[in-house]
Amino acid sequence: MRGIVHKLKIKSTMDIYQDNLSYLWNFNDFNKRLENDIKDCGDKQNRKTNVKGYMTYWQMHTKYDSFKNLLVMIVKEHLENYKRLTLVGGDTVRIYCPSMWGNIYNKGDHTQEHDHTGSRFSFTYYVKCDENSSPIVFSHPGFMQIKPKTGDLLIWDSDYKHMVPEQLTDSERVVIAGNLNYHAEIQTPAEIINA
């Protein structure tokens, strides 16, 4: 092996952005459309991913307007609150979405610990959950547990490890998840969201 890696231990933070979208004038209809589109798509992954429950296609934002509308809102109205996207020259970093999917957790379903390495930012939007729904648990680089409410949006760095413990209630926990990357001209196809 050639070269060396210089290491310096530093104190840092694990930042997770949270907002609730219940302020939307069409909040209930918006969530109902998202839930209906997830159910319309159906379970396409057959528990073969980290999600051990119902999971749609990976590119729902290319198939359903409800997902595309949520994605545009996340990037244009919330992502900048998590990380500044302004470049030195004043331009804005352009963002695209390589994957966005829906999950439904029923009693006994869970998600194994994992991260989304390969992307820059990840997010979850909670379409429907109740006070007994499972939390999302971040396990690295620190430990944080967030008990979501219907309408909650979370954004975090994609290399944060996270999981969802077993759903113990009979109520459905309906979630949309996705990943965001900086756009590079050599990547195709890459639809710019915040153009």
Q: Pick the closest to residue 110 from 150, 163, 154 (CA basis).
A: 163
**pLDDT, position 66:** 97
How far is 92 from 84, CA to CA, in rounded Å? 9
State yes or no: cis peptide before 148, omega within 30 of 0: no
What average pLDDT does range 85-104 have in this prediction? 83
**pLDDT, position 70:** 97
User: Residue 190: pLDDT above 90?
Assistant: no
User: Residue 193: pLDDT above 70?
Assistant: no
| β strands within 27-70, DSSP E | 51-52, 54-55
Residue 83: pLDDT band (50, 70, 90) is: confident
Does the domain at 16-182 match CATH 2.60.120.620? Answer given as yes
**pLDDT, position 84:** 81
Spatial CB neighbours of 77, under 8 Å, sequence gap ≥ 6: none
How far is 179 from 134, CA to CA, in rounded Å? 21
**b/e for 132-168, b at 16 or more Cβ within 10 A?**
ebbebbbeeeeeeebebebbbbbbbbbebbbbbeebe
How far is 103 from 172, CA to CA, in rounded Å? 10
Q: Pick the closest to residue 60 from 88, 23, 109, 99 (CA basis).
A: 99
Which amino acid belongs to residue 108?
Answer: G
Check: CB of residue 174 under 8 Å from CB of residue 102: yes
Lowest model confidence (mean pLDDT) among 13-17, 61-65, 179-183: 179-183
Length of the chain: 195
User: Residue 89: pLDDT above 80?
Assistant: no
Check: CB of residue 134 under 8 Å from CB of residue 173: yes
Q: What is the pTM of this model?
A: 0.90
Q: Chain-wide mean pLDDT for the chain?
A: 91
Which value, to the nearest 10 degrees, does the dihedral of the CA atoms of residues 55, 110, 75, 71 take? 20
